[in-house]
């Protein structure tokens, strides 16, 4: 959903930005689905290729029983196939971990410098693609390399406590933004709702008031 769509629903520009920012924060740390699907599909293809090779080698092994030279060659091929599988799995794991790290560094000034600071040997990948242990390392990096991260600017607006002159929490204010309460006030007390919207810096006409 875009900021324009939220404004069309009756939110002020400031409120729309706040909703989008909250949504952005909620999505932090998740590997984009397209990226996860790409890695997962590659993994499946590689596993299928290895499986087919193993099957072919097993069938060939059954056919050449008694021929020591061919049996030895097939055994060597099976060992090579096993090593290739392990290399593929390590590569897929590395791709998944790198994607997760990149998704965590959205507030970093120079993410390429910080990627190498993660100890990948201590990270593991769950079946659903979640990288375990990454948040703990990220917290340590943010503490150790504060200057490499953008400051997290949060806090209350000193000119707006979030309470109206009527003594209630203002559901249109940044601190107490609440769509349910807004709708309730508009239905039950439109006059009061209009005052609260104005006090929060909004435009009551957008709400039909």
Residue with tokens 């060659």: 73
How far is 113 from 147, CA to CA, in rounded Å? 12
Are 56 and 47 in contact, with CB atoms under 8 Å apart? no
Least confident of 3-7, 46-50, 99-103, 124-128: 3-7
Of the chain, the end-to-end C-alpha distance in Å amounts to: 25
Q: What is the pLDDT of residues 60-79, one digit of tens each?
A: 777 777 777 777 887 888 88
Least confident of 1-10, 148-157, 161-170: 161-170
Q: What is the pLDDT of residues 105-123, one digit of tens each?
A: 888 888 888 888 999 999 9
Give the bridge partners for 149, in sequence order.
108
Q: Where are the alpha helices (DSSP H) in the chain?
A: 3-8, 13-27, 33-63, 68-104, 111-115, 134-144, 179-188, 190-199
Report how far Cα 62 is from the mean position of its chain's Cα atoms: 49
Whether the pLDDT of residue 3 is over 50: the answer is yes
Whether the pLDDT of residue 6 is over 60: the answer is no
Q: Find the mean pLDDT for residues 33-42.
A: 61
Predicted structure pTM score = 0.43
């Amino acid at each position: 959903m875009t900021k324009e769509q939220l404004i069309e629903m009756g939110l002020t520009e400031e409120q729309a930005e706040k909703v989008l920012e909250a949504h952005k924060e909620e999505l932090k740390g998740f590997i984009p689905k397209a990226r996860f699907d790409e890695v997962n599909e590659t993994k499946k293809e590689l596993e299928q290729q290895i499986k087919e090779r193993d099957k072919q080698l097993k069938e060939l092994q059954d056919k050449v029983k008694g021929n020591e030279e061919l049996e030895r060659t097939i055994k060597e091929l099976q060992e090579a196939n096993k090593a290739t599988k392990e290399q593929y799995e390590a590569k897929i794991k590395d791709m998944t971990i790198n994607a997760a790290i990149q998704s965590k560094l959205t507030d970093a000034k120079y993410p390429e410098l910080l990627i190498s600071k993660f100890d990948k040997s201590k990270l593991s990948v769950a079946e659903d693609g979640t990288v375990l242990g990454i948040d703990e390392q990220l917290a340590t990096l943010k503490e150790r390399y504060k200057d490499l991260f953008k400051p997290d600017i949060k806090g209350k607006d000193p000119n707006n406590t979030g309470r109206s002159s009527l003594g209630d929490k203002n559901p249109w204010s940044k601190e107490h933004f609440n769509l349910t309460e807004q709708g309730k006030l508009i239905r039950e007390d439109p006059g009061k709702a209009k005052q609260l919207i104005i006090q929060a810096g909004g435009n009551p006409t957008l709400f039909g008031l």
